[in-house]
Amino acid sequence: MQSVESKILYNDRLAEGYFRLGLSWKTPEVKAGHFVMLRLSDGMDPLLRRPFGVFRVIGAKGKSTRGTGIELLYRVVGRGTTILSAKRPGESLGILGPLGNGFPAPQKGRKVVMVTGGMGIVPLYLLAQRLPEGTLLFGARSKKETFLLDEFRELGIKIKTATEDGSAGVKGFVTALLEKELSTDTVVYACGPVGMLKAVSRLCLDAGVQCFVSLERSMACGIGVCLGCAVRTINHEARENRNYKMVCSDGPVFDGKDVDWELL
């Protein structure tokens, strides 16, 4: 983990309310599921850092880019991201990271299925980069939210889409696609809204399929000190089978069967 000042390489608008942010950073190895905490101002507003998942590492392996560091994707949803969207190349941001525990690598021979909704796609790109093959099931409200899928296609990932309004792929929820993908040799990786993750975990548990989920919670510190991102988990071996873990330091990736979904 490092705490450094980073120069903004680019902060490009991808679509209405969506941005791609490049940050210069000589970072330790970043794994799929890692995140960083960004300090958006030198003043008191906003006071707290904001968490952002790492989409990919840039400038690796001699590829021509606009710099070397990490790339984040974000959607403008509040004051913090509104401030971030106005930042320009050359300005500085404070980075704390990489943080958290990422997705474990799949065992050899396992069929990998990634399930995501909306901005939950962010931590899955680094995972997809390391796969010889895999399937991405993407859920969204409409076709307007599918603009990032081409980057996964370039990796050779098979993509199936579900949209609530039927404007792309099948009409309905992404969990309907998942039911057809589950088999005894499948491992599932998921990130997205809590309702989707709960449904995905239930389907996998019923099918006897291993499932890893990346949770999203509000965070103030990112290192397990403030206890603001606690979730209740299930210890299947202990007599007292309920305990709390921090999404930032114990997660954000958990085995889906270990999360007490009734309290999320």
Per-residue model confidence as pLDDT tens digits over 25-54: 987 789 999 999 999 988 778 888 999 999
At residue 264 the predicted structure's pLDDT band, cuts being 50, 70 and 90, is confident
Confidence label for 60 from pLDDT (cuts 50, 70 and 90): low
Asked, as a colleague might, if the bond just before 123 is cis with ω within 30 of 0, I would say no
Give yes or no for a contact between 230 and 220, defined as CB atoms under 8 angstroms apart. Answer: no
Residues 235-263: pLDDT tens digits? 877 656 668 999 999 999 999 999 999 88
Asked: is 111-263 a CATH 3.40.630.30 domain? The reply is no
Domain ranges of the chain: 2-99, 111-263
Q: Are 33 and 77 in contact (CB under 8 A)?
A: no
Do the beta carbons of residue 43 and residue 132 sit within 8 Å?
no
Structure tokens at 19: 């941005």
**Which is it for the CA torsion 210, 113, 126, 92, positive or negative?**
negative
Q: Is 23 exposed, middle or buried (0-12, 13-18, 19+ CB in 10 A)?
A: buried
Dihedral, CA of residue 186, residue 191, residue 193 and residue 197, to nearest 10: 30
CATH 2.40.30.10 fits 2-99, yes or no: yes
pLDDT digits (tens, 9 = 90+) for 94-142: 999 999 999 999 999 999 999 999 999 999 999 999 999 999 999 999 9
Q: Give the global pTM.
A: 0.94
pLDDT value at residue 239: 56
Q: Is the pLDDT of residue 62 over 70?
A: no
